[in-house]
Each structure stands twice: as structure tokens, then as C-alpha cells.
Amino acid sequence: MEEIEQLFDLMPEGQFSVNADGTVYANYADPTNEYQHNILGDDIEAKTLVVFVDGEIYSHTLQDNFVFEDIRPRLFDVDNDGKIEFITILTHVELGAGIGVFKLQDGLLSLYAMVDHIGQSNKWLNIVSIENLDDDAAIEIAWIQTPHIGGTLFTAEIASGMIEPTDGIFGFSNHRIGDRNLCLSALTDDGFEKLIYVPNQLGDKVFIFHLQDDTFVQRDSIELAVDFSIPLPDQLNVDNLIIDNNCIQ
């Protein structure tokens, strides 16, 4: 990490993601204020994704009109090839937020897969989970689009190219405007199914879903006055929590 700090202009929060054995790091660098959305509490976003893999440093700097509207990247092997990919919130200044999955290929860090931009400036999304949610061959990503104005919970299988949602349910939120806590969801495994926990838009109830045939099925709900400044797993009394090093606080 010291070498990264010497080579790049890091973000004010200075957050890194690291895998379980400490061989992969990722962070954002090159602060910019070209996108004045302020959804995460300031107008400073990142232009560059930096990763450290097996002793080597790689980076990807975005073109004009693009920023990483995020705090730190998420790490997950999304294509089951034994190598970690890097999942980001990738925003276009005129088209709003999307999700960018970056992969090391032939010595270059490049965009591998993407959830398309929302389509309007100053519209944002927050990732819920990256996991094999239904125990098939594919890794799914779940996210809440526009969590501050209605909020639709989406899911999609991750594959190279444009990622298309397979289901969406309206009325949820996993972020409050200006807050730095992006960890407002939880994931458990009860031995039969993986369960997603997300707050409703009012923040007075947490809904529980599992994925079946690429569709969200409601399992239950919990009455809870959600504190959006505290990670949701810390507010739930649940067993079999999947420890998520992508949970961003």
C-alpha cells in the first residue's frame, strides 16, 4: 500500500479493499470535483481505479465525463476463474450511475461487464450484494437503484458485456443522502437458501428475500427502525451471516 500511496493521489477517505489472504488490494485515486452531485457528503469523486495483485500495481483512469461515485471498490471472483474482479459504482455526469466490473486481462485493467447508467444526471444506485444467490453456475449482483426516491431492488447475473436485470421490486432504500455508510443490506445462508435483507423506503421495516428462477421471492419482514448511519448487519439479530468484506462503511 505504501507504494500506491507514493504513486497516486489518493482520495480523502483513503479506504482500501483487501482480500482474505492479503494478496489483492484495490482503492480509488485522483480526486475530481467535475461531478457536483454530493450524494456521499461532498463533491469529490475519483477518476482512477488502482489495484495491487500479486506484487504488481495496475490502474484504470476514466475518460472525461466519467467518475467513480463510490468509496472503495468491491472484490469478488465474478466469473469463477479463480481471479478477483473489481466492482465499482461508475457514473457518467449526464447519464447518472451504473455499475462497472473491471478485470485484469493480458496485463491491463479494463472494463469487463457493466450495468448501464440510469439515464439521468444526479441519479445514483447502491450495491446490495455480489454472491451466488441461487446456487447455480452464475454469480448474481443485486443493487437498489435511486434509493432516495422510491428505490427499486434489482438483480442480474454477471457476465461479460452489458448486464441486464432479471427482476426488480419497488420501494427500498440502502442509503441516505450525504451519508458515508453504504452498508445498508445483509446476506445470510440458512443452509438451504441465501437470504437478502434490505430496508424499505421509510426505514421502518427490513424485508427478506431469496432468489428463485432469477426472481425475488419475499420470505419475511422485520419491524425495525433502521439507523442509516450504522451498517445493517450490526442492527440485525440474525444467524449465519455471510461475512462480507465488500460491506462499505
Lowest mean pLDDT among 8-12, 26-30, 97-101, 227-231: 8-12
pLDDT at 249 over 60: no
Tens digits of residue pLDDT in 166-194:
999 999 999 999 999 999 999 999 888 99
pLDDT for the residue 134: 92
Strand, coil or helix: 7: helix
Residue 227 lies in a domain: no
Exposed, middle or buried by CB within 10 Å (0-12, 13-18, 19+), for 12? exposed
Residue 142 exposure: Cα atoms within 13 Å on the Cβ side: 30
pLDDT at 248: 59
Q: How buried is residue 13: exposed, middle or buried, by Cβ count under 10 Å (0-12/13-18/19+)?
A: middle
Residue 246 confidence class, pLDDT cut points 50, 70, 90: low
Locate 153 and state its grid cell.
431492488
Provide the 10 A C-beta neighbour count for residue 67: 25
Number of domains in the chain: 1
Query: Has residue 149 been placed in a domain?
Result: no
Residue 207 maps to a domain: no
pLDDT above 90 coverage of the chain, percent: 85
> Predicted confidence band at 14 (pLDDT cuts at 50, 70, 90)?
confident
How does pLDDT run across 140-153, given as a tens digit for each residue? 999 999 999 999 99
Residues spanned by the domain of 14: 2-123
Q: Is residue 219 part of a domain?
A: no
pLDDT of 190 reads 86
Cell of 160: 461479460
Q: Which residues are registered as beta bridge partners of 100?
A: 88, 114
Contacts of 159 (CB under 8 A, 6+ apart): 79, 113, 138
- Residue 62 domain-assigned (yes or no): yes
The answer to whether position 42 is within a domain reads yes
- The average confidence (pLDDT) of the chain is 94
- Tell me the pTM: 0.95
Between the two ends of the chain, the Cα-to-Cα distance in Å is: 20
Residue 17 covered by a domain: yes
Residues contacting residue 108 through CB under 8 Å, at least 6 positions apart: 58
For cell 449526464, the residue is 94
Burial class of residue 219, CB neighbours in 10 A (0-12, 13-18, 19+):
middle
Neighbours of 166 (CB within 10 A): 15
Q: Is the pLDDT of residue 245 over 70?
A: no
Residue 213 lies in a domain: no
- Sequence-distant (≥ 6) Cβ neighbours of residue 221 within 8 angstroms: 205, 206, 207, 208
Position 3 scores a pLDDT of 75
Q: How far is CA 169 from the centre of its chain?
A: 18
Q: Tens digits of per-residue pLDDT, 157-166?
A: 999 999 999 9
